[in-house]
Amino acid sequence: MKTCTSLRCGQDYDETDPEAVKYHTEPVNCSQSCRCAGRPACYTCHGSFCYCVQH
């Protein structure tokens, strides 16, 4: 198990699971300039006016 380093996540995930690794490490493309741009899908964008489908 590995602990996610993304702000507002901090959950443990299975580093042998490719989907979990992607969810916690690969940034999603929000196509907007907001504070969740460039963050992984596990980052929560509450109140940032960023309407990312992936989040």
| Domain boundaries defined on the chain | 1-55
In contact, 42 and 9? CB cutoff 8 Å: yes
What is the model's pLDDT at position 51?
59
- Residue 10's alpha-carbon distances to 31, 32, 33, 51, in angstroms, are 25, 24, 24, 22
What is the model's pLDDT at position 36?
77
pTM: 0.73
What is the model's pLDDT at position 46?
66
For the stretch 1-55, pLDDT in tens is 999 988 778 899 999 999 999 999 998 877 666 777 788 888 877 665 665 555 5
What is the model's pLDDT at position 32?
67
